[in-house]
Amino acid sequence: MDNKQLTALSRRRFLSYLGIGAGVVAGAIALDAGRLPTLADTLAASTGKVHSYTFNPAPARIALGKQTVSTWAYNGVLPGPEIRVNVGDTIRAMVRNHLSTDTTMHWHGLPIPNAMDGIPYVTQAPIKAGQTFLYDFVVPVSGTYWYHSHVGLQLDRGLYGPLIVEDPRETKNYDQDVVLVLDDWLDGVPGGPGTPDAEYQKLVVAGKSMAGKGMGGMSGSMNMSKPGSMTGDVNDVIYPYYLVNGKTSDNPYEITVKKGQRIRLRFINAGASTIFRLALNGHKMTVTHTDGQAVEPVEVDTLRIGMGERYDVLVTVNNPGVWQLAAQVDGTNYLARALVRYQGSTTTAPAATFLPPELKQKQLTYAMLKVAPGIPTPPSGQPAQVAVALSGSMAPYVWKMNNQIYPDASKIAVQKNHLVQFQFNNQTMMSHPMHLHGHFFQLDNGTGRGPMKDTVLVDPMQKMNVTWFSNNPGQWAFHCHNDYHMKAGMFRVVSV
């Protein structure tokens, strides 16, 4: 949502979002198995330990490798400061808004109390320029998460950072724990497109122009490296830079390792509009978690990660040298990269454009993932089935859920402690990473033991079902995590 859309939301509408609306999903059947499980049944109790932080979203000058840009950032760094706590600890984060416009902070993937979720005019009034807001909550689950602004296209600036929740009971079967935040970057690049909002306006104007020439309903994507041309790629925007931990490929982030070590890599896709394909040259990866939730280990050469998704992998380093860890932009030869450098290696680093052959080898699919034993899953029962049709086009540039465009969209209302199945039907030729706030859902991948996730990539013309249990009351955002699609209308409120 941009500021005009936020302003357009009347006080009456805002208050309606804070209440439970009428029109509860038809067919929602409570589970009849004695006492119904609650959120507390699956979440950690408080340890009593409090971690206090201050976040200052503000204009900043950031060095992206050899290029310095003017942008916005938390505390002047990119990504924002890493938060690392134990499950059950309390986070108290004071946000002091030094921007000239509204902002919020969302805790992506964490099923926390609704009032702390950080969605403007849905869970809270936005934090005005010069004002403060305190986010205060117990961290309920372990895993790899992240935080970011949820106002307009602020995510496509520098307002994001990693949030790692450790479980002291977990066996540490690795020697290093490395967080790798992927991003696409255009903000403030000299001679570049300008700001994310300016880029969005280009998409809107181009969409109107094409629709006016009889090219309406086009579901492809625009390759911004060739302005005005329609291509068969999968990107709304081709960015000037792609980053790993805030660094461009000409000055890559480096991981130093010793032969024989096992490394845990936590991948977070913080990009606003880019799907990445990941591979480490000369090594295989064992996937252990998706969206913070453990899965049965599966060994692959490459994995595909949508916006908002996270994957944890283990890599055993037994191949000395300097190796390219490539994050290839899906559908192109562009990439972000990091380097894995063995101690003492004199090998020359690979070229910035080198694409590891592993990118064309065994790729992780959702069908390979099974939830690990002990991970809470939705209880058995007959779920309420909710159709979620994903539609829209580049011309005009509008993206919809069930043919509705936010903010002029009805709520999806469900009763508390009910089993719900979202049945995605992607009717477009673009992929949509669909994210539900406040809950995990189980992906139906045909195994009967699909992974627990909070963000799932629904590919062009694909149908996919996810099932979740509505045990966290409140007004929850449900949207495509391509920020440009969300801004263009692919957003709903789920009222529990």
pLDDT tens-digit readout, 446-475: 999 999 999 999 999 999 999 999 999 999
Answer yes or no: is pLDDT of 305 > 90.
yes
- Residue 211 lies inside a defined structural domain of this protein: no
Answer yes or no: is pLDDT of 36 > 60.
no
Residues 245 and 358 in one domain: yes
Q: Sorting pLDDT into bands at 50, 70 and 90, what band is 38?
A: low
pLDDT of residue 15: 36
Q: Sorting pLDDT into bands at 50, 70 and 90, what band is 213?
A: low
- Sign of the CA dihedral with 379 first, then 380, 382, and 383 last: positive
Answer yes or no: is pLDDT of 222 > 70.
no
Residues 73 and 116 in one domain: yes
Q: Sorting pLDDT into bands at 50, 70 and 90, what band is 216?
A: low
Contact predicate 113/148, CB 8 Å: no
Q: Round to whole Å and give the CA distance between 267 and 303.
A: 10
Instruction: Summarize the confidence of residues 191-220 as an average pLDDT.
Output: 78
Three-class SS of the chain: CCHHHHHHCCHHHHHHHHCCCCCECCCCCECCCCCCCCHHHCCCCCCCCEEEEEECEEEEEEEECCEEEEEEEECCECCCCCEEEECCCEEEEEEECCCCCCECCEEECCCCCHHHCCCECCCECCECCCCEEEEEEECCCCEEEEEECCCCCHHHCECEEEEEEECCCCCCCCCEEEEEEEEEECCCCCCCCCCHHHHHHHHHHHHHHHHHHHHCCECCEECCCCCCCEECCCCCCCCCEEEECCECCCCCEEEEECCCCEEEEEEEECCCCCCEEEEECCCCEEEEEECCEEEEEEEECEEEECCCCEEEEEEECCCCCEEEEEEEECCCCCEEEEEEEECCCCCCCCCCCCCCHHHHCCECCHHHCCECCCCCCCCCCCCEEEEEEEEEECECCEEEECCEECCECCCEECCCCEEEEEEEEECCCCCEEEEECCCCEEECCCCCCCCEECEEEECCCCEEEEEEECCCCCEEEEEECCHHHHHCCCEEEEEC
> In this structure, are strands 262-269 and 253-257 parallel, antiparallel, or unpaired?
unpaired
Residues 82 and 58 in one domain: yes
What is the reported pTM? Answer: 0.91
Contact predicate 183/270, CB 8 Å: yes
Residues 341 and 406 in one domain: no
Residues 375 and 285 in one domain: no
Q: Is the peptide bond before 373 cis (omega within 30 degrees of 0)?
A: no
pLDDT in tens, 332-360: 999 999 999 999 999 999 999 999 999 99
Q: Provide the CA 399 distance to its chain's centre, in angstroms.
A: 18
- Residue 53 lies inside a defined structural domain of this protein: yes
pLDDT of residue 8: 37
Instruction: Summarize the confidence of residues 368-382 as an average pLDDT.
Output: 95
Cross-strand pairs, 86: 166
From the list 42, 14, 35, the residue with the least C-alpha distance to 439 is 42
Give percent of the chain above pLDDT 70: 87
Higher pLDDT, 388 or 13: 388
Residues 338 and 417 in one domain: no
* Residue where one domain finishes, among candidates 325, 341, 364: 364
pLDDT of residue 190: 87
Residues 321 and 376 in one domain: no
pLDDT of residue 227: 28
Higher pLDDT, 45 or 178: 178
Structure tokens at 267: 């991948």
Per the prediction, the chain carries an average pLDDT of 89
Answer yes or no: is pLDDT of 34 > 70.
no
Answer yes or no: is pLDDT of 233 > 70.
no
Q: In this structure, what CATH number is given to the domain that contains residue 98?
A: 2.60.40.420
Residues 295 and 262 in one domain: yes
- Residue 231 lies inside a defined structural domain of this protein: no
Q: Sorting pLDDT into bands at 50, 70 and 90, what band is 66?
A: confident
- Residue 265 lies inside a defined structural domain of this protein: yes
* Residue where one domain finishes, among candidates 364, 394, 410: 364
Contact predicate 422/389, CB 8 Å: no
- Residue 188 lies inside a defined structural domain of this protein: no
Residues 93 and 159 in one domain: yes
Backbone φ, ψ for residue 360 (5° rounding): -105, 10
Which range is least confidently modeled, 14-18, 109-113, 400-404?
A: 14-18
Higher pLDDT, 160 or 218: 160
Higher pLDDT, 222 or 113: 113
> In this structure, are strands 106-108 and 50-55 parallel, antiparallel, or unpaired?
unpaired
Answer yes or no: is pLDDT of 23 > 90.
no
Instruction: Classify residue 208 as exposed, middle or buried by CB count within 10 Å of its CB (0-12, 13-18, 19+).
Output: middle
Structure tokens at 53: 């932080």
Q: Provide the CA 132 distance to its chain's centre, in angstroms.
A: 25
- 372's CB contacts (< 8 A; 6+ apart) are 293, 294, 295, 296
Contact predicate 337/368, CB 8 Å: no
- 205's CB contacts (< 8 A; 6+ apart) are none
- Residue 89 lies inside a defined structural domain of this protein: yes
pLDDT in tens, 260-278: 999 999 999 999 999 999 9
Cross-strand pairs, 324: 339
Answer yes or no: is pLDDT of 27 > 50.
no
pLDDT of residue 45: 86
Instruction: Summarize the confidence of residues 79-102 as an average pLDDT.
Output: 98
Q: Round to whole Å and give the CA distance between 347 and 344.
A: 9
From the list 119, 124, 107, the residue with the least C-alpha distance to 55 is 107
pLDDT of residue 413: 94
Higher pLDDT, 229 or 290: 290
- Residue 127 lies inside a defined structural domain of this protein: yes
Give the domain extent around 109. 44-170
Answer yes or no: is pLDDT of 240 > 70.
yes
- Residue 182 lies inside a defined structural domain of this protein: no
pLDDT of residue 207: 86
Q: Round to whole Å and give the CA distance between 486 and 220.
A: 17
Total domains in the fold of the chain: 3
Backbone φ, ψ for residue 162 (5° rounding): -85, 150
Higher pLDDT, 321 or 41: 321
Q: Sorting pLDDT into bands at 50, 70 and 90, what band is 19?
A: very low
Residues 54 and 146 in one domain: yes
Answer yes or no: is pLDDT of 4 > 80.
no
**Burial letters for 13-27: b for 16+ Cβ neighbours within 10 Å, e otherwise?**
eeebbeebeeebbee
pLDDT of residue 43: 77
Which range is least confidently modeled, 32-46, 307-321, 359-373?
A: 32-46
- 41's CB contacts (< 8 A; 6+ apart) are 376
Structure tokens at 170: 């977990």
Residues 326 and 377 in one domain: no
* Residue where one domain finishes, among candidates 170, 193, 218: 170
Q: Round to whole Å and give the CA distance between 459 and 432.
A: 6
Residues 381 and 490 in one domain: yes
